[in-house]
């Protein structure tokens, strides 16, 4: 699943709130659990989880916030929170953080699935 539109929304909100830099990560995990005892299945469970995190740099200080819910309202809330945390951190920073200019990096990783040899 791609989160391009959601990621762009985070970047737009953060920029509109005055963030100097923002990165966002979306994660999605699917778990399956099968327990077998003496050849009999004793437990089956599966589940999905999603979430995202936002890191911003404002006035030389970092802010971070995350959520397990991905919705327009939550994207706005979490992004605003990350910017506000950065602003608060900037008030007490000893030295401003500066970043080396670089191009945006977009990547995706999928864990290889392993099958039991039994």
| DSSP result, 45-63 | EEEEEEEEEEEEEETTEEE
Question: Is 77 inside any structural domain?
Answer: yes
- Flag whether 116 is in a domain: no
pLDDT attached to residue 24: 97
Ramachandran region, residue 87 (left: φ > 0; alpha: ψ -120 to 50; beta: rest): alpha
Instruction: Indicate whether 107 belongs to any domain.
Output: no
* In-domain check, residue 96: no
Local confidence pLDDT in tens for the 118 residues of the chain: 689 999 999 999 999 999 999 999 999 888 888 999 988 999 999 989 999 999 999 999 999 999 999 999 999 999 999 999 999 999 999 999 988 888 888 888 887 877 765 5
Task: Domain count for the chain, please give it.
Answer: 1
Instruction: Classify residue 117: in a domain, yes or no.
Output: no
- Specify the CATH number for the domain of residue 27: 3.30.2290.10
Is-above-0.85 flag for pTM? Answer: no
**C-alpha to C-alpha distance for 70 and 54, rounded to whole angstroms:** 12
Q: What integer pLDDT is reported at residue 116 of this predicted model? A: 62
**Is residue 72 one of the residues assigned to a domain?**
yes
Q: What pLDDT sits at residue 13?
A: 98
The pLDDT score that the predictor gives to residue 107 is 85
Rounded to whole angstroms, the Cα distance separating 104 from 110 reads 20
Q: Which residues constitute the domain of residue 70?
A: 4-91
């Amino acid at each position: 699943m791609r989160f391009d539109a959601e990621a762009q929304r985070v970047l737009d909100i953060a920029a509109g709130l005055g963030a100097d830099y923002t990165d966002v990560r979306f994660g999605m995990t699917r778990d399956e659990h099968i327990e077998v005892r003496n050849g009999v299945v004793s437990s089956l469970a599966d589940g999905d989880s999603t979430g995202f995190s936002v890191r911003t740099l404002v006035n030389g200080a970092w802010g971070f916030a995350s959520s397990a819910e991905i919705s327009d309202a939550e994207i706005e809330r979490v992004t605003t929170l990350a910017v506000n945390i950065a602003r608060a951190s900037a008030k007490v920073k000893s030295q401003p953080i500066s970043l080396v200019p670089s191009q945006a990096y977009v990547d995706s990783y999928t864990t290889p699935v392993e099958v039991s040899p039994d």
